[in-house]
Structure 1
Amino acid sequence: MTEDILGSPYTRETLDLGADAEGALTATLVRRPAENTSAPTADGKPRGAVLYLHGFVDYFFQRELGDWWAAQGYDFYALDLRKYGRSHTDGQTFYYTEDLADYDLEINRAWQLITGRDGHRKVVLMAHSTGGLIAPLWAHRTQPAELTALVLNSPWLDHFDPPLVRVALTAGVSALARVKPRAIVQPPKNDPAAESLHQKFGGEWSFDETWKTFDFPPIYAGWLAAVRRAQRQLHRGLDVRVPVLVMSSARSGRMKTRTQKHDFDAVLNVQHIRRWAPVLGRQVTSLVIEGAVHDIFLSPPAVRSDAYSQLGHWVRRYLH
């Protein structure tokens, strides 16, 4: 392990995933140990571990989130998936895959390190946006014995267009993906929601603009078809057998400029999130966070303080 770009006590290690047509594949596992003076169990050991999965056009930079879990007595881990963030290498197409199940490989590797090498028997899986689609499908397929809870922050459970548009789009993109998976179905465009978060434009956060860009990247047919297949599978119902928490903003909206102060999810339709949350598993709780942006834990201070408070209450109820 080496010290992470976030600085001590964050460390990182590289996971070798073999190769694909674009070359060597790796993922990156970031770790932040639990605070010794926080909330350990009676024997002084951490309460468990948390594994965090980021969203699309994203990577783990939310040090505050890792610190919060550490303060609750959990070893915190975050995984930069292949071709994202710390794991991207020259020559690779950022963020590209043609099957979201491909990510099972790095999630399984990370899980083995957390539960085998590091000895954790209770692990919370937390995920945001596209990660919030990947995570429940992985949990459904693998049913790991150590999984104790699933926490989803604005998960991408359905496409954001109206029903008739979604049906037509899915059929057309799926057909195109079979013959031209690298065909661009949406050209790059400016992303004011991402800009609004950054300190450069009056936001609170600093992040690597190469890994989390201000311009939304081109959307390829193969990638979007993979997302729609995964969403259709989820809509048929999953069997996640641990408590599930689904967090979403109170409302959705569209941003026009990067300086626009907003108190809504500018990326996803929150009604879709709440509609599909019940199909995830046997015990699902939906929490609506008033005033939250798409990544709830990047919301303004008062909003995310409320989000952390509600998350903490849920954790104490279902995990302690």
Structure 2
Amino acid sequence: MTMQERPDVLGAGWTARTLELRPDGRTPGPLATLVHHTPAGAAPRRAVLYVHGFVDYFFHTGFAEALAEADWDLFALDLRDFGRSIREGRPANFTTSLATYAEEIDASIALLRADHDQVVLLGHSMGGLITSLWADARAGTGRIDALVLNSPWLDLRGSWVERRVLTPVLDVVGRLAPMLTVARLGQYYGEALHRDTGGEWDYDLTWKPHRGFPVRAGLIRTVRRGHRRVARGLSIDVPVLVLASDRSGPDAAWHPDLVTTDSVLDVTQIRERAPLLGPDVTFVEVPGGAHDLALSPAPARDLYTSEVLAFLADRLP
């Protein structure tokens, strides 16, 4: 069931609607939020559905405007317990199954398909992992026409010990004590992005705090299981575009290149795992790009946008 569109926090030209989801045993129950950039003229017949990353929500108005100029209708999904969909009494940014998010993705795609001839799914970071697994599970259904991944989280950045030793430990801990906090994000990348701390962007720090939300064992367990699925190889049957910065920077300390490198993920891992997504994958490097390429300083963010639009124009004429 969906509620009527209402004005969104992004201001004029933006609306949001609530997607009421199936009960999941917690009280209150989950909901998701579908945000829409209303075009000035006739609605385009092509749509992009954007899915955010961890400790994130959609606020990328400039990217939406660039898509609108190229005749693409932008929708964005704040997944359950993220951003606009956070509800008091529910742990924010937490799940024990990435497949759970298929419910709101399916519902959003169905709404878009009712009015659009072409639908593209775009995932950033953790959203890139979620949408990749979703597209693999929905292969052969024709629900989307292409998949675009902005710095997707396809493997765990870290030392050999973190990747090979702690992963099996957290697999057990995540099953027995899923709510146990095992980490927190470094604040430096968020501070480098936000206008109040010297960055270029203004967004809600209650939905995207610099230190993030607690990283719980149950979440790491399900993410690492998703990584293993990618490592075995997926069979996404639509054209896939993967974009990442040209280099990574430290993720736990301040440094002057926080927004001109990927200071969250390892870009080498992204490049190496991209071909495992399916038979038709294009990888594009964005020099000087931030972890969220859409939030990079110019000209990197303009290159990111132009590469996305060029790919869509070439593969979905």
Given that residues 43 and 73 in structure 2 are in contact (C-alpha distance below 8 angstroms), is that contact kept between their aligned partners in structure 1? no
Distance in 1, matches of 2:104 and 2:234, equals 21
Are residue 301 (structure 1) and residue 298 (structure 2) matched?
Answer: yes
Are residue 91 (structure 1) and residue 89 (structure 2) matched?
Answer: yes
Partner of 2:100: 102
Over 3 Å counting, the alpha-carbon distance change for 1:35 and 1:278 in structure 2 is farther
Partner of 2:113: 115
Over 3 Å counting, the alpha-carbon distance change for 1:261 and 1:224 in structure 2 is closer
Distance in 2, matches of 1:34 and 1:216, equals 33
SS at match of 1:79: strand
Question: What is the root-mean-square deviation in Å for CA atoms of aligned residues?
Answer: 1.7
Counterpart among 233, 237, 262 of residue 237 in structure 1 = 233
Counterpart among 6, 13, 24 of residue 29 in structure 2 = 24
Q: Which runs of 4+ in 1 moved over 4 A?
A: 258-262
Distance in 2, matches of 1:159 and 1:149, equals 25
SS at match of 1:24: coil
Partner of 1:288: 285
CA displacement 1:136-180 (0-9 Å, x = unmatched): 110111234141110000000000023453121210000112211
Displacement of 1:54 after TM fit? 0.2
Distance in 2, matches of 1:91 and 1:58, equals 19
Displacement of 1:228 after TM fit? 0.5
Identity %: 40
Are residue 135 (structure 1) and residue 124 (structure 2) matched?
Answer: no
Over 3 Å counting, the alpha-carbon distance change for 1:260 and 1:154 in structure 2 is closer
Counterpart among 191, 209, 216 of residue 212 in structure 2 = 216
Displacement of 1:103 after TM fit? 0.3
SS at match of 2:22: strand
SS at match of 1:185: strand
Listed as ranges, the matches of 1:149-298 within 5 Å are 149-186=146-183, 188-254=184-250, 256-257=253-254, 262-298=259-295
Which sections of structure 1, spanning at least 5 residues, go unmatched? 37-43
Distance in 2, matches of 1:30 and 1:189, equals 26
State the one-letter code of the partner of 2:129.
Answer: L
Q: How many pairs are equivalent? A: 310
Counterpart among 2, 8, 11 of residue 15 in structure 2 = 11
SS at match of 1:239: coil
* Deviates further, 56-65 or 210-219: 210-219
Partner of 1:319: 316
Displacement of 1:66 after TM fit? 1.3
Distance in 2, matches of 1:139 and 1:212, equals 26
